[in-house]
Amino acid sequence: MRTIVMVGLCGIVIFALLWVGSGPKISAEMQECLQSHGSQEQYAAVLRKYCSPKMINQAMGLLIIKTPQVVRIKHSGKAVCYLVEGSIVDASTLAHDEALQDYSVCWENGRVVSLDFNGGKPMAF
């Protein structure tokens, strides 16, 4: 009986590990952008690498978002679009319902092709 319980528990643990590891697949380019939010210089260099000059100024506004996380991935034709959210570096100056910001960024052929700010929403406690 004990052996059956142990085998069952091991099966559950293995299933849970596989399920957790099967999250959204984020491109290397998008991952690089998410990881570059630590400094203005690093972020600007990554933007120059992947964005058009016109889009760089718009994208620099995202630097205020700390610990950005991809929450959804959508395929739209040849483009891969990510919904990203994160809290603001200094949320104390914002209304409570704007403490969490999100934006959508679409990639095609290794380049950012669109960037849309979706605005703020309340942080869940």
Q: What is the CATH number of the domain that holds 45?
A: 3.10.450.50
Tell me, yes or no, whether 52 lies in a domain: yes
Tell me, yes or no, whether 11 lies in a domain: no
| pTM recorded for the entire structure | 0.71
Tell me, yes or no, whether 4 lies in a domain: no
Total domain count, the chain: 1
* The predicted structure's pLDDT at residue 39: 81
Nearest one of 46, 24, 45 to 33, comparing CA atoms: 46
Tell me, yes or no, whether 45 lies in a domain: yes
Tell me, yes or no, whether 62 lies in a domain: yes
Tell me, yes or no, whether 8 lies in a domain: no
* The predicted structure's pLDDT at residue 98: 54
The CA-atom distances, in angstroms, between 76 and each of 21, 45, 104, 107 are 24, 27, 12, 10
Question: How confident is the model over 39-69, as pLDDT tens digits?
Answer: 888 888 999 999 998 888 888 877 677 788 9
Give residue 75's domain range: 25-121
